[in-house]
Amino acid sequence: MAKTISRDALEQKISKFETAISKNRQQYDQLTKELKELLDKKKALQSEELMKAIAESSRSYEDILRYIKGDPSEDEE
């Protein structure tokens, strides 16, 4: 048989779970924000690294762009 629970006890449990969910949602939002910031910083570093490699490359901008796009029309053999 199912255990009966008083209305007050039920309301307290509901309130407890709502509070826990709210706290977890706030933590999730904060962690998501921090992760996005870290991923943005990673992307910026990758962009800087790529730009440096392009600047130091003996290949032309057009050659590099064609390679990145996968355009085989003028690939070297």
Q: How far apart are CA 51 and CA 14, in angstroms?
A: 55
Do residues 66 and 73 lie in contact, with contact meaning Cβ atoms separated by under 8 Å?
yes
Q: How confident is the model at residue 2 (pLDDT cuts 50, 70, 90)?
A: low
Q: How confident is the model at residue 6 (pLDDT cuts 50, 70, 90)?
A: very high
Mean pLDDT, residues 66-72 taken together: 88
Q: What is the pLDDT of residue 7?
A: 93
pLDDT in tens, 30-59: 999 999 999 999 999 999 999 999 999 999
pTM of the predicted structure, to 2 decimals: 0.65
Distance of CA 64 to the CA centre of its chain: 28
Q: Which amino acid is at 55?
A: A
Q: What is the pLDDT of residue 77?
A: 46
